[in-house]
Structure 1
């Protein structure tokens, strides 16, 4: 089953259960996935679908961050949508797992004491290993913390 099929099945369950908020959140996610499929003109791969879901999470988080505190109904809706969307993406790597991949990459490149000059070379090898599994900002922060 593709991600679109899974989201559609969950939306049908929510409709049958009478869970209007969940149905609305899933409907928005399904719409984003369908639009990406139309834009690509073929079915999405699992990784591409995960990217779309993460993009929706990020956009909803940005809405949440910019919403004034007195708009509690919008804040609650955004938090609920993020919780629903997170059901459909694999868990992101934790900091210690990312550090292990960074150390593995440094060993692979033969770099004992990384410097800022090595950053481009390290990131070029490192990012394909963690793409879609780890937050790029966190990877960058952890790598920058290792510079001599």
Structure 2
């Protein structure tokens, strides 16, 4: 089943349970997925669906973070939406898994003791492998830590 079908089924369950907040969150996620599918003019791949879910999570997290402290209603709504979206998000890679992929990339590039100068080339080869599976910020921090070790 595609994510669109899974989200639609969850939305029907939320409607039957009369859970308005969950239904609204699922409706927004479903809209984002369907709009992307319409833009692409063909069904989305699993990686594309996961990327859209992650994008929605990121946008909702920004809404939560940027909401003024006195607007508890916005923060509460964003937190509820985040909880729902995370149910449909793929599992991120652990730091150890990211380190393994970095190690593979270093071997392929023939870098025994990489320096900060090599970071751009490493990231260029690394990011396509972890795209949609790991947060770019985490990947960057892990690589920086490994470069500082050597």
TM-score, normalised with respect to structure 2: 0.92
Distance 1:100 1:37 in 2: 33
Residue 65 of structure 1: aligned partner: 65
Residue 27 of structure 1: aligned partner: 27
Q: Give the alignment's Cα RMSD to 1 decimal.
A: 1.2
Residue 145 of structure 1: aligned partner: 145
Distance 2:97 2:89 in 1: 18
SS of equivalent to 1:125: helix
Unaligned runs of 5+ in 1: none
Runs of 4+ displaced beyond 3 Å: none
Q: State the Cα distance separating 1:50 from its structure 2 match.
A: 0.8
Unaligned runs of 5+ in 2: none
Residue 6 of structure 2: aligned partner: 6
SS of equivalent to 1:96: helix
Distance 1:105 1:44 in 2: 28
Q: Which moved more, 1:45-54 or 1:91-100?
A: 91-100
Where do 1:37-48 residues align within 5 Å? 37-48=37-48
Q: Which moved more, 1:121-130 or 1:83-92?
A: 121-130
Residue 94 of structure 2: aligned partner: 94
SS of equivalent to 1:83: helix
Distance 1:144 1:102 in 2: 11
